[in-house]
Structure 1
Amino acid sequence: MLAKTVRTSLGAAFLAISCLSAVAAFPLSSLVERATLADVLQLGGNLFHVQGLALEPTRIWATSVDNTRHKAWLHEFDRATGKALRRIELTDGARYHPGGISVADGVIWVPLAEMRPNSTAVIVGIDSTTLKVRRQIAVADHLGCVAVSGRKLVAGNWDSRLLYEFDTVTGAQVKVVPNPSQTRYQDIKFVGHHLVAGGNRDWLSGTVDWIDWRSQKLVRTLKAGAIGPVRPFGRGGPLTGEGMAIEGRDLYLLPEDGPSRLFRYRLTI
């Protein structure tokens, strides 16, 4: 079913959880407005608390934070099989929070921040083949998500109240603008001139937003629910990750901490 509002009744909750548990039930329910659940890919290995998701034709990239040991990780998976391929630690002293990520032109962009607002962050550009650092941009604020398009890199701070734009070549800050939505973005991506951003509004609901970056206007919003232990957009629970990616009409969510599954939704509009 397509949920235009968050469904809180016991029957709706049971139906949604059943949908996420069984392949045969995919057409019956959806936690994302105007979308149908197409398939689920089980990921091998283990992630800690999921923070970001990015896709390449043959690979899946995810970030996670080990809050117990204060460590940041970048994970690589085979996109066809879900097999875990590589994992590297990204921890930079007090900066152990790796946020929402983006990949373009063979570079994975990851924000590493202190786990508190109004702190510091480093945006790291990592070669997707060698996993060597190619670029670093230091920022005097907590940054929790990044999106890249050409030389343009947009990052959201704590709860994405502010959206920063940087030049990926020079590292210079271009501008800072307020978030036109009340949603606290966890993962953001560029699709053309639109910034597609997903996150939570409260403990039980979130949205996927389309922002025209040229005007900073919010032009489209889809509601996303949170039912049971699997949530499209989590907020700190042990089973609630925060990864989102989009390709055409396919919306990908990584809502669980390890063992994790990648959910693919087909948008109907």
Structure 2
Amino acid sequence: MKNMILTLAVAVSIGSVTTVFANPESLQQDENKFTESFKQLSRDTAWEQKEKVDLQFNTYHPQGMTKIGDLFYMSSVEIIEKPVKYDEPREGYDRSTGRGIGHLFVFNQQGELLKDIKLGEGDMYHPGGIAFDGESIWVSVAEYRPNSESIIYKVDPNTMKPQEMFRTKDHIGGILRDGENGNLKAVSWGSRRFYEFNQKGKVVSKVNNPSHFIDYQDCESAGKENMICSGITELPQQGSSTGKYELGGLALLDMKTLEIEHELPISLVSSEEHNVTRNPVYLENKNEAIKLYAVPDDDKSSMLVYQTKLNKK
């Protein structure tokens, strides 16, 4: 999942950005190992914070993150005018469109911004979770309201140029490419629906999400048969009439059936008291350990890096 540290095949320099690609055979082998490693995680897993990288730019409201070589790619929405909820639905919508700008940021391990790619068009300015398939980064950009519309892009890390692939009639909150058949798996607003599209945008399947544990924010493939998703759900805080509690978690899903094979809660919180799986999450399998990268806070953000050891087999 999320592009483990692998045997490197080639590095391509584009201006100040160097993109490093992995050997496909090593990628598949390591992803299969990562699936088994992920299944060792549980609610009792101890995570140790290893780093806190202050991001040296306004991150706005981060959404999804992936990693290619030593570079991080993070989608984010800059909200200029927040959508306003209606007293009663209007034309099938529960709120106004608002206004904003979609971003795909590229930054290094020191938190320095290397590239800001603008995404979206008109009322569609809200990027979702992103994924790297070994060749391209996939990202959806939707209206900032449920049951709306989205543009699906893929971005070439060589040129950093986005290419519109298709549009669809729903808010797509996260998307990834199934490496086995080339189709795209996606989640709707709050991940209440799962979609499968072909690369021309035809809906191959559409099913309701049977799990209500967390709303998936960011998903990426984990080998041929699985994908891993992260996210939160907001619950009322006991003893408070206005406060909310963020329950975070990770889930391993079967890519074909979308059934959960393994899941666990995450209780780590940031200095702003957000659960670390609230926004982008990136997992890395390395040297008998799993590293978790997260950017849970908005605007003036830090990338928090945690690590847990695995049982040797």
Shift of 1:108: 1.5
Determine if the alignment matches structure 1 residue 261 to structure 2 residue 289.
no
Contact 1:180 1:216 in 2 (8 A): no
Determine if the alignment matches structure 1 residue 229 to structure 2 residue 269.
no
Shift of 1:119: 0.6
Inter-CA distance 33–121: structure 2 relative to 1 (3 Å threshold): farther
Secondary structure of 2:80 counterpart: coil
Determine if the alignment matches structure 1 residue 117 to structure 2 residue 146.
yes
CA distance in 1 between partners of 2:155 and 2:229 (Å): 22
Unmatched tracts of structure 1, length 5 or more: 1-31, 235-241
Shift of 1:267: 3.9
Shift of 1:259: 2.4
Alignment of 1:131-150 (within 5 A): 131-150=160-179
Structure 2 residue aligned with 1:28 = none
Contact 2:198 2:204 in 1 (8 A): yes
Structure 2 residue aligned with 1:173 = 203
Structure 2 residue aligned with 1:204 = 246
Structure 2 residue aligned with 1:8 = none
What one-letter code is carried by the residue in structure 2 that aligns with 1:86?
A: K
Structure 2 residue aligned with 1:164 = 195
Q: Runs (4+) of structure 1 moved beyond 4 Å?
A: none
CA distance in 2 between partners of 1:247 and 1:174 (Å): 31
What one-letter code is carried by the residue in structure 2 that aligns with 1:163?
A: F
Shift of 1:88: 2.0
Secondary structure of 2:129 counterpart: coil
Shift of 1:181: 1.9
TM-score after normalising by structure 1: 0.78
Unmatched tracts of structure 2, length 5 or more: 1-42, 82-99, 235-244
Contact 2:229 2:251 in 1 (8 A): yes
The CA deviation string for residues 234-268 of structure 1, in whole angstroms up to 9 with x for no partner, is 3xxxxxxx101222222221112232222222244
Structure 1 residue aligned with 2:291 = 250
TM-score after normalising by structure 2: 0.68
Q: 2:64 aligns with which of 35, 52, 73?
A: 52
Shift of 1:197: 0.8
Structure 2 residue aligned with 1:38 = 50
Shift of 1:230: 4.1
Inter-CA distance 154–246: structure 2 relative to 1 (3 Å threshold): same
- Report the more deviating stretch, 35-44 or 252-261: 35-44
The CA deviation string for residues 110-168 of structure 1, in whole angstroms up to 9 with x for no partner, is 11101111111111111122122234121110111112232132111010001111233
CA distance in 1 between partners of 2:207 and 2:309 (Å): 31
Structure 1 residue aligned with 2:76 = 64
Contact 2:173 2:217 in 1 (8 A): yes
Shift of 1:37: 2.4
Inter-CA distance 41–122: structure 2 relative to 1 (3 Å threshold): same
The size of the alignment, in residue pairs, is 229
What one-letter code is carried by the residue in structure 2 that aligns with 1:246?
A: L
Secondary structure of 1:101 counterpart: strand
What one-letter code is carried by the residue in structure 1 that aligns with 2:255?
A: W
Structure ID, larger Rg: 2
Determine if the alignment matches structure 1 residue 91 to structure 2 residue 134.
no
Secondary structure of 2:190 counterpart: helix
Shift of 1:228: 5.3
CA distance in 2 between partners of 1:204 and 1:244 (Å): 15
What one-letter code is carried by the residue in structure 1 that aligns with 2:63?
A: Q
